[in-house]
Amino acid sequence: MKDYNPKEIEQKWRDFWQDKEIFKTKDGSGKPKFYVLDMFPYPSGEGLHVGHPKGYIATDVVARMKKMQGFEVLHPMGWDAFGLPAENYAIKNKIHPAEAVEKNIKRFRGQMDKVGFTYDWSREIKTTDPEYYKWTQWTFLQMFKKGLVFQSFEPINWCPSCKTGLANEDLEQGKCERCGSEIERKPLRQWVIKITDYAERLLDDLKLLDWENSIIEMQKNWIGRSEGVEIKFHVSSCKFQIEVFTTRLDTIFGCTYVVIAPEHSLIQELKSEIENWPEVENYIAESKKKSDMERTELAKEKTGVELKGIKAINPFNNGEVSVFISDYVVAGYGTGAVMAVPAHDMRDYDFAIKHSLLIKRVIIEEKDGENQKSKIKNQNNNVKLKINAREDVYEEEGTLTESGEFSGLGTAEAREKMADWLEEKGFGKRKVNYKLRDWVFSRQRYWGEPIPLVHCEKCGVVAVPEKDLPLELPKVKNYEPTGTGESPLAGIEEWVNTTCPQCGGKAKRETNTMPQWAGSCWYYLAYIMRGISNFQFPIFKCKKEFDNWLPVDLYVGGAEHATRHLIYARFWHKFLQDIGVVSTAEPFHKLFHVGLIMAEDGRKMSKRWGNVINPDDVIEEYGADSLRLYEMFMGPFSEGIAWNTKGLVGTRRFLEKVWKIGQETRDKEQETNNAHIEKLMHKTIKKVTEDIENFKFNTAVSQLMILVNELEKSPLILNTYYLILLKLLAPFAPHIAEELWSVLGNKESISQEEWPKYDPELIKDEMVSLIIQINGKVRDKVEVGAGKTEEEIKEIVLTQEKTQRWLEGKEIRKIIFIPNKLINIVV
Ligand code: ANZ
Ligand code: ZN
């Protein structure tokens, strides 16, 4: 047999899979289903670099194993082709986005095809396809009809470079996630979806999910549930009240002033009472220019202006406090006003120092003062209520002091009792707030789904009738953003001017488009619909098929989506559940995030650094199987790791070895039994199966390497063992596995074979009896599993009662260890 040459075999097998439709997914096959999904890419102009396929290879390994385990596997792929990245690319390269998308998809597809994925391309989808976005628009209309969509004129995040409004999720540290520009606040007419109505369910249902903890935490923080109270502070000179939200009612006796956000509507109402109005007005104008991020950042200087002539009354002690406006208070959160407690809140402290305000401590660390860390006690164990420096600000839980009848209570208990008191007296109520903001859903850009609404002078906003969907995006020559706050669609009169579906009178179309995230909210359903009738069948009639396939069993993609796509898609799914389109509460059951592959120089792969590695080149030189195997072997799946060509060479050598020992087996088959190899074989089956299941691909591959090394040493390799090896290898390196499988006389694809099973009896560890010596004298013996390391043995031995007695009060100096035989502890 010839040497291993991937170029001669790989394309052949890819053609074979395609021609025989080996990986075409069938509906109603009667097998148990397994839906494994990749986050679909947006087809950028740069093509794929070797980092992109890592997640796709992982899902492909799982898909191939699941198929061999007897599942009907759905493993589809498509294109997230609307949105800013595609449009910005088009503008830069002076090519229409529609054309750019087609061109880029072709390139991506060509690159993907060479890796040998099992995608069922007959279910390919593209969010820019009108037959696709018909259902994006339809779902939006259902939301509109249910009152979940509203028009708002509030200032929003505006990217001056992308020339569009953005949602909170589109920002990264106050900058545009796309282009890195500083975000401005701009009042703009916009469409907003009340995703906050779903905040509680989005949070509660996280417990239904089998996701990595880190992603669950990010979701929790993004949704940001806070339990607290709203309290009314009367303004002493007039009828108005300032309502504040706090999570720390227990600190209210330490409240020394109140702060209102500059945008708060109350300020205008208090105008006649405010003695320094010009100063206040000026401050409001200044803060309008800043972004939320600039305003709330902890390190930023806390600016603000007192509302002279205004005093607020603390309902708990009837004390009068001053009132300020400051932009560290966010208008859109809570009530837009806070009670400030500088002794127990760092932001309030900074503000109080800057404006020379009273600082009053009301929480102490512990009642009995036992804690050494406490800085607030003096010799006589009296509590000193002094906050002398920033470090003294005490934000933790503790015990109340100087708090009237509540003094002496623990903080948690005090919060309950004080909330009861508040509700009883009618000064306030318990309240849960969420950090999650409503979803700003309109973009002033061309390349998105048109929002299917019209504005009629008589009827107001009217929905486009469902029968008129899809409302197609008109083809235009000028698609560049206008920057005026209007989308380029506003300039196309033939399109904008229409008739009102309700009264037949003159009306204008909505010209904003949907954000990039809209199409990806439900694409996992579209793959299922494609299997039925190529979208001719309405989404609301596919419930049976959705029920068959949902939830997605395994979902893999980048961590950057932890708070964007994954929040939006979960919300969208819950809405579809509410209107009866799907019946599961959650779309994605299990989720893993893929760690980045860095360039060999440790930097992010980027055209800018000239360090991009193209998978085409790697495949050309080493073969697709080496690429696949290497990406799975290079390190723990979810960790970032740098590319290393040496490692790639190593996996290629491994495949050559598999190829070589294959030739040594065939004619030598005999019924000899090699207990050691047999055991190792079964261990390997177990490990590879479980490791693939748990996304520990690197250790699965290293186990295969151990097995192959042992097989290589063995004078005879049973054909049955070799065949098992090929099956275990097939998900990782499918081309070579098929080739060697067929060389051995098999006619069917190895992917249609049954996945190997192990015999639990054979994987039990052999036991050895290990001698325990202390200072060279035999003191005991233990039965332990063979092959344990020094560390493992040490742990076992040191917990033995007998050993412990011998060692009592002595210090271990040294340990001498002979594997499987002896441990000598020198004391
Ligand atoms: C008094 C207090 C005392 C507070 C104390 C904290 C510590 P989360 O968990 O984020 O909900 N706050 C309320 N509304 C705000 C707004 N619109 N902009 C800025 N800050 C606001 O935090 C709630 C706490 O953040 C509230 O509790 C309030 O400060 C502040 F020792 O009230 B606290
Ligand atoms: Zn009308």
**CATH code for the domain in which residue 372 is found:** 3.90.740.10
Do the strands 33-38 and 552-558 form a parallel or antiparallel pair, or are they unpaired? parallel
Instruction: Identify whether the C-beta of residue 219 lies closer than 8 Å to the C-beta of residue 206.
Output: yes
| Whether residue 245 has its Cβ less than 6 Å from ligand 1 | yes
Claim to verify: residue 363 and residue 311 sit in the same structural domain: yes
449 burial level (CB within 10 Å; 0-12, 13-18, 19+): buried
Claim to verify: residue 106 and residue 243 sit in the same structural domain: no
Ligand nearest to the CA of 500: 2
Residue that finishes a domain, picked among 735, 761, 787: 761
What pLDDT is recorded for position 802? 84
Does some domain include residue 382? Answer: yes
Instruction: Identify whether the C-beta of residue 127 lies closer than 8 Å to the C-beta of residue 522.
Output: no
Mean pLDDT over each residue of the chain, to the nearest integer: 91
Residue that finishes a domain, picked among 734, 761, 788: 761
Best probe residue, ligand 1, of 230, 233, 247 (max atoms within 8 Å of C-beta): 247
What pLDDT is recorded for position 376? 45
Confidence of residue 375 (pLDDT cuts 50, 70, 90): very low
Which residues neighbour ligand 2 (ion) by CB within 5 Å? 456, 458-459, 500, 502-503, 505
Which two tokens mark 568? 């939006």
Does some domain include residue 146? Answer: no
* Residue among 466, 449, 447, 579 at smallest CA distance from 519: 449
Three-state SS annotation for 195-222: HHHHHHHHHHHHHHCEECHHHHHHHHHH
Distance of CA 222 to the CA centre of its chain: 11
**How many angstroms does the Cα of residue 347 sit away from the middle of ligand 1?**
9
**How many angstroms does the Cα of residue 332 sit away from the middle of ligand 1?**
13
Claim to verify: residue 787 and residue 749 sit in the same structural domain: no
Instruction: Identify whether the C-beta of residue 581 lies closer than 8 Å to the C-beta of residue 546.
Output: yes
Instruction: Identify whether the C-beta of residue 118 lies closer than 8 Å to the C-beta of residue 20.
Output: no
In the block, tokens 């208990």 appear at 413
Instruction: Identify whether the C-beta of residue 304 lies closer than 8 Å to the C-beta of residue 353.
Output: no
Domain with 726 in it:
627-761
Atom 32 in ligand 1: which residue has the minimum CA distance? 246
Does some domain include residue 475? Answer: no
**How many angstroms does the Cα of residue 335 sit away from the middle of ligand 1?**
10
Spatial CB neighbours of 713, under 8 Å, sequence gap ≥ 6: none
Nearest atom (ligand 1) to Cα of 336: 17
CA–CA separation, 690 vs 59, rounded Å?
15
Claim to verify: residue 270 and residue 417 sit in the same structural domain: yes
Give yes or no for a cis peptide into 470 (omega within 30° of 0).
Answer: yes
Q: In what order do the strands lie in the sheet with 184-187?
A: 164-166, 155-159, 184-187
Claim to verify: residue 702 and residue 777 sit in the same structural domain: no
| Whether residue 304 has its Cβ less than 6 Å from ligand 1 | no
pLDDT in tens, 69-79: 999 999 999 99
CA–CA separation, 764 vs 808, rounded Å?
34
Domains identified in the chain, total number: 4
CATH number at residue 814: 3.10.20.590
Claim to verify: residue 335 and residue 391 sit in the same structural domain: yes
Percent of the chain with pLDDT over 90: 70
Specify the range with the lowest mean pLDDT, choosing from 350-359, 434-443, 551-560, 710-719.
710-719
Confidence of residue 122 (pLDDT cuts 50, 70, 90): very high
Confidence of residue 181 (pLDDT cuts 50, 70, 90): confident
* Residue among 329, 200, 196, 344 at smallest CA distance from 258: 329
**DSSP assigned state of 513:** B
Residue 269, amino acid = E
Claim to verify: residue 698 and residue 769 sit in the same structural domain: no
Q: How many CA atoms lie within 13 A of 717 on its CB side?
A: 24
CATH number at residue 49: 3.40.50.620
Does some domain include residue 190? Answer: no
pLDDT of 378 strictly over 60: no
**DSSP assigned state of 584:** -
Does some domain include residue 616? Answer: no
| Whether residue 248 has its Cβ less than 6 Å from ligand 1 | yes
Residue that finishes a domain, picked among 434, 453, 485: 434
Claim to verify: residue 751 and residue 786 sit in the same structural domain: no
Task: Kindly state the average pLDDT of the residues 620-645.
Answer: 96
Does some domain include residue 229? Answer: yes
pLDDT in tens, 28-69: 899 999 999 999 999 888 889 999 999 999 999 999 999 999
Claim to verify: residue 243 and residue 340 sit in the same structural domain: yes
Do the strands 399-400 and 428-434 form a parallel or antiparallel pair, or are they unpaired? unpaired
pTM for the whole thing? 0.86
Claim to verify: residue 784 and residue 727 sit in the same structural domain: no
Claim to verify: residue 67 and residue 110 sit in the same structural domain: yes
CA–CA separation, 359 vs 349, rounded Å?
8
Does some domain include residue 645? Answer: yes
CATH number at residue 660: 1.10.730.10
Does some domain include residue 40? Answer: yes
Claim to verify: residue 410 and residue 361 sit in the same structural domain: yes
* Residue among 215, 213, 223, 217 at smallest CA distance from 39: 215
Q: Is 607 annotated as a binding residue?
A: yes
